[in-house]
Amino acid sequence: MLEFTEKGLILRVGRFREADAWVRMLTPSRGVLTAFAFGGMKSRRRFPGCLDPLNLVLFKFGSDRRGRYLNLDEGTLLNGHPLLRGNPRNLGVAVNCLKFTEAVQVAPEGAEGSYSLLLNLLDLLEEEIAEPEALPLLFRARLGFSQGYEPDFLACGGCGLPVEHFDRPRFFVEKGQVLCPSCADGPRWQKGLPVSSGALRALHWIMSHPPGEWPRLTVPPLVRREFSLIVERFIAYHLGLEWDGGTFRNV
């Protein structure tokens, strides 16, 4: 038998049978996990106000005797994000980011960074923001590029030359690298995505600033298009995910 207490940000809740539920959540030390709340849909005493997406809950976990699955013994609601729930624009953004987090299946290694990233984003969405619709792309960039290894956007991945010292940088999705024209010449060069130094600086900025500062980032439409193309291609190639009609599907 396994027993522990852990915080979890609920991503999704599914019902099965009359009173039972499964709960998928992001935790700081175990990444994304799924646990069963037997009787959870009926028990107000064990899970008061807890079993809904967007809730941050302190859960007491147990397992079945053979340790095959986790179950939830009880929960204490820590933060239900009430202001965000009452703001339809921000709520749509939050739901999009929860779906992406679930699709990424954040592993235990590095889960703490992903967990605080998501919580910081939800804190930001508790406020009124000028353009909340710009945030999911930035969130996908930050979460996507932090799974595994993080590209260096400010230097050539081959020779280390800083991007301000060469012209026509290109981003190579498969390698997750920026390369200068002399490190990727010939036919290889054609495979790289042309990218301006403005877009590279914006990518670097997002990786090094917390969500609370993201509304300050303003970029021209061309830079935003390059930024978006790099993020979506990287996520499709390395994480196998593509946004398709309201959900992320595996590609």
Query: Residue count at the site for Zn ion (CB under 5 A)?
Result: 5
CA distances, 238 to each of 28, 60, 104, 169, 198 (Å): 23, 34, 10, 21, 24
> Which residue in the set 37, 54, 118, 183 belongs to the binding site for Zn ion (CB under 5 A)?
183
Least distance from Zn ion to the Cβ atom of residue 188, Å: 12
Query: By C-beta, is 61 or 172 nearer to Zn ion?
Result: 172
Strands in 157-218 per DSSP E = 170-172, 177-179, 193-194
Exposure class string for 63-95: b at 16+ Cβ within 10 A, else e: beeeeeebbbebbeeebebeebbebeebbebbe
Query: By C-beta, is 19 or 159 nearer to Zn ion?
Result: 159
In the block, tokens 């993080």 appear at 150
Query: By C-beta, is 189 or 205 nearer to Zn ion?
Result: 189
159 binds Zn ion (CB under 5 A): yes
What distance lies between CA 213 and its chain's CA centroid?
A: 17
Least distance from Zn ion to the Cβ atom of residue 155, Å: 8
Query: By C-beta, is 121 or 179 nearer to Zn ion?
Result: 179
Least distance from Zn ion to the Cβ atom of residue 181, Å: 8
Which residues contact Zn ion (rule: CB under 5 A)?
156, 158-159, 180, 183
